Structure 1
Amino acid sequence: MLFARTFRVMTDRFHERLADRDLEPLRPAHGFVFRYLAEQPSATAVDLAVHLGVSKQAATKTAAELVEWGYVRRTPHPADRRAHVLELTGKGRSYLRFADALWAELEEEFASAVGAERMAVLREALEAYLDGAEGGLRPVW
């Protein structure tokens, strides 16, 4: 439970810092979409729904918000006339770099609280545990 609580505190702090900036009302679910589309540049709403563990309608709605805000582009699928390909725009990729920098700040704060040596041991242990684990960053609703 300590890992879950730590992740929650860091996520809350991340979103508090986002609120201090003049950005759209991005939610944690949007972050999972950014990460997925960065790794799967030709994903469809169905692919996104499977990854997020939500209905196609919910994934389509979330993607539509990001399209409206200019973070994601939706283009016709080359092989399936019913589907659309979702991909990050330049604004979406810029936001992802910004979010990575913000997470790095939070990790630095964590490291300063526990000490650099303990942080290095923790990082090594977590990487060892995750080595070979399937799947990327996914929500746990």
Structure 2
Amino acid sequence: MSDVKRYHVTDAGLVEGQALGRINVVLGADHDRVTAERDALQQRLTAADERADVLEGLLRDINDAPGGSQFKKHIDAALNPAPGEPDRINGMIETVGGEYAVIIDRANSHYGWTFKKHPDGQWVSGRKATEREMIAARSHAQNTKQL
């Protein structure tokens, strides 16, 4: 999405930028453009979601057909992921309690970031890890054989 220019209202009129304690506005054309971009992205997301539903249905049909599929075990695993178990992330080292983690694999685009486990079981990125946290994560990975 494109950036929207923001303005604040002064006695002299509109001034580009935001100011605390002042009325901030955007131009109608910018708002309309960003709204159209959002709507187009939502349409693409809906279409992709519908396609995923159709493909999932086809996989179920193939798996349930007489004679089944030679890939039944893999299809079952893909269609029925274990509840509450997020996908493993390469290079992610979990703390002892499993509530926090740090990415220590340089090949991972999130290298050096901390994560916290959300109540739904998924990981949420936090902030850049300190050098001390990186050292502790590497040591913990070796001790617990997480890599």
Report the TM-score when normalising by structure 1: 0.29
- Of structures 1 and 2, the one scoring higher in RCO (CA 8 A, sep 6+) is 1
More strand per residue: 2
Report the TM-score when normalising by structure 2: 0.28
More helix per residue: 1
